[in-house]
């Protein structure tokens, strides 16, 4: 994972090892605070329905952003529609839509998925559309000369050329999704008496269990660092850095 052109990068190896170590340490703190062993705590975390909801909402948000951006880049009406929708909904906090989501989808996973999609959609769509617009005319003419039109043109020319901007949007979207999930869990925990990490922090705060609160907060932070320094950095190294688009 930390090898580039056959050469091991010590800084990347150290960063990945540190991220994994901090993540394991956070799990140990949560396990110690809850009175369970670390293995059981880690297994319960990844098997928890909340993690599945997070991934479903994040994936659905990316899919919706991709469809909206493709429509925007291929037609003037689509561009105007994307600009109008982003102007309307991008400034709107995802958690502010939670009351409507509860009315539409009820007290369940659907409401959380809805607010996560909202938090991911606009960040990914804006960055992707901006990246598409920044593609040089030379690359565009190359695609036209090869007879590429429609989706093949987007997939073979625009996406690779705009991938740095797309990757930035994916990072921002992930951060928004993770933050929205924790905030939504507080509301769902209060409403239904159960929840994930957000409810764990909220409940321990009410009971003045400060070590458990810090353990939960540290888990949120370390999990975000793990995704950023391991998952996204691996994608970045195998795409934009390998393609010579970043140094």
- Estimate to the nearest angstrom the gap between the alpha carbon of 166 and the chain centroid: 12
pLDDT one-digit tens code per residue, 124-149: 999 999 888 888 888 888 888 888 77
Write the CATH number of the domain with boundaries 49-195: 1.10.3720.10
Identify the pLDDT of residue 64.
93
Alpha carbons 54 and 180: distance in angstroms, whole number = 9
Lowest-confidence segment of 52-61, 153-162, 163-172 by average pLDDT = 153-162
Alpha carbons 215 and 200: distance in angstroms, whole number = 10
DSSP 191-209: HHS--SHHHHHHHHHHTT-
Please state, rounded to an integer, the average pLDDT across all residues of the chain: 77
Name 187's Cβ contacts closer than 8 Å, sequence gap at least 6.
95, 98
Identify the pLDDT of residue 7.
46
What phi, psi does 4 have (nearest 5°)?
Answer: -130, 115
Identify the pLDDT of residue 5.
47
Give the pLDDT mean for 72-96. Answer: 87
- DSSP annotation of 147 reads T
Alpha carbons 7 and 10: distance in angstroms, whole number = 9
Identify the pLDDT of residue 31.
56
Lowest-confidence segment of 9-18, 65-74, 154-163 by average pLDDT = 9-18
Q: For residues 70 and 43, which has the higher predicted lDDT (pLDDT)?
A: 70
pLDDT at residue 181 is higher than 90: no
Give the pLDDT mean for 212-221. Answer: 78
Q: How large is the angle between the packed helices 38-47 and 49-74, nearest 10 degrees?
A: 40
Q: Where are the domains of the chain?
A: 49-195
Token output for 13: 């190896």
Q: How confident is the model at residue 122 (pLDDT cuts 50, 70, 90)?
A: very high
């Amino acid at each position: 994972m930390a090898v580039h052109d056959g050469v091991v990068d010590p800084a990347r190896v150290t960063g990945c090892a540190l991220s994994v170590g901090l993540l394991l340490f956070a799990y140990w703190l949560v396990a110690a605070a809850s009175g369970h062993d670390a293995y059981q705590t880690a297994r319960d975390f990844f098997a928890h329905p909340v993690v599945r909801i997070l991934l479903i909402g994040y994936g659905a948000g990316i899919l919706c952003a991709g469809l909206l951006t493709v429509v925007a880049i291929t037609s003037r009406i689509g561009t105007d529609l994307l600009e109008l929708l982003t102007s309307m909904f991008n400034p709107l906090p995802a958690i502010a839509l939670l009351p409507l989501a509860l009315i539409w989808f009820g007290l369940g996973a659907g409401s959380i998925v809805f607010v996560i999609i909202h938090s991911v959609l606009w960040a990914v769509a804006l960055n992707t559309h901006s990246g598409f617009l920044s593609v040089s005319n030379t690359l565009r003419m190359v695609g036209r000369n090869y007879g590429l039109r429609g989706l093949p043109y987007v997939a073979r020319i625009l996406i690779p050329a705009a991938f740095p901007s797309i990757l930035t949007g994916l990072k921002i979207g992930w951060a928004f999704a993770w933050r929205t999930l924790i905030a939504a869990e507080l509301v769902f925990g209060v409403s239904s008496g159960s929840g994930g990490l957000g409810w764990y922090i909220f409940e321990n705060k009410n009971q003045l269990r400060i070590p458990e609160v810090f353990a939960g907060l540290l888990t949120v932070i370390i999990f975000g660092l793990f995704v950023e320094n391991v998952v996204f950095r691996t994608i970045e190294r195998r795409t934009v850095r390998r393609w010579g688009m970043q140094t």
